[in-house]
Amino acid sequence: MAIFSRDAAVRANKRLVERMPQRSSVDLSGGSTVFGLVLGSTNETTTVVDLKSQTIVRWRIPWPSDYVTDLAVFDVVEGQLAFDVERNDLAQPESVTLEDLPRRLGTYRGRRVRRWLEQLASPADGPLFGFRGPSAPYWEFRGERPSVALIAADRGPQLLRRSDDGSTWVRFGWFGDDVWLLCEDAHAIRTMEATRRASLAGKELSSALGFRPAYVLTTLSKPIDGHCYKSCTGLLPRG
């Protein structure tokens, strides 16, 4: 992001992010105002960098049933926590509930974002989310492990489209594991639909997406028939 801009809204957004009062932990006070930098968004969950604590948080947003999230990577958003933030989900310990729909303030990119992503990237400490395979029973979770992992892939990522059901998948290598995840990133799905290709990787993927994917945002779903599933909810540039 340029230091000087003729766009007053861009300058105001930059000042908001860079002058944000800092806290050592996420504010969980019911009704408090929160600010986030979007890393990925679906109707089930929106993953953000909490701008006051610079930690990853998952927002439960009460989207209307007929509405699809329009939040994109690196959007800066403002929301209000519900008075009951629902911090009792042991499979998703980072999740909090918003009282209403958040307000999009603009976008923010640059060296500061690159530094945050580097710091937040998940270390190699065993299988993704602590278990192998696509899912684990909900009753096995104890709130001890995160439900979000920002992955700097060793190989890939590669996008694939299955002809039998039209679903889009992300494949990448991470510390010796060959990981396949259902893709819920709307931009990546639209990209596959537009290219009509069965797979995209490397320069072709970067050209189609409009950026080189440096990170894979992975999350655990809420229980589906008693199991929580791994998925990709965002492909992110370096910043």
Q: What domains does the chain contain, in order, with CATH numbers?
A: 8-108 (2.40.50.140), 114-236 (no CATH)
Which two three-digit tokens encode residue 197?
């290709």
The residues facing 76 across adjacent strands are 37, 106
For residue 132, CA distances in Å to 29, 100, 188, 206 come to 36, 36, 25, 29
Query: Does 214 have pLDDT greater than 80?
Result: yes
Which two three-digit tokens encode residue 235?
């492909």
What is the band of 3 on the pLDDT scale with cuts at 50, 70, 90?
Answer: very low
Mean pLDDT of 82-103: 94
Name the nearest CA neighbour of 187 among 1, 75, 36, 41.
41
For residue 40, CA distances in Å to 23, 49, 156 come to 23, 10, 19
Q: Average pLDDT over the chain, rounded to whole?
A: 93
Say if pTM beats, i.e. exceeds, 0.85. yes
Burial letters for 50-68: b for 16+ Cβ neighbours within 10 Å, e otherwise? bbbbbbbbbbbbebeeeee
Name the nearest CA neighbour of 233 among 167, 155, 148.
148
Query: Does 149 have pLDDT greater than 90?
Result: yes
What is the band of 5 on the pLDDT scale with cuts at 50, 70, 90?
Answer: low
Query: Does 96 have pLDDT greater than 80?
Result: yes
Which two three-digit tokens encode residue 198?
């069965």
Fill in the DSSP letter of residue 131.
S
Which 3 state secondary structure label does DSSP give 77? strand
* Cα gap 86→84, rounded to integer Å: 5
Query: Does 4 have pLDDT greater than 60?
Result: no
* Residue 196 near residue 127 (C-beta atoms within 8 A): no
Name the nearest CA neighbour of 134 among 40, 228, 223.
228
C-alpha 138, offset from chain centre: 21
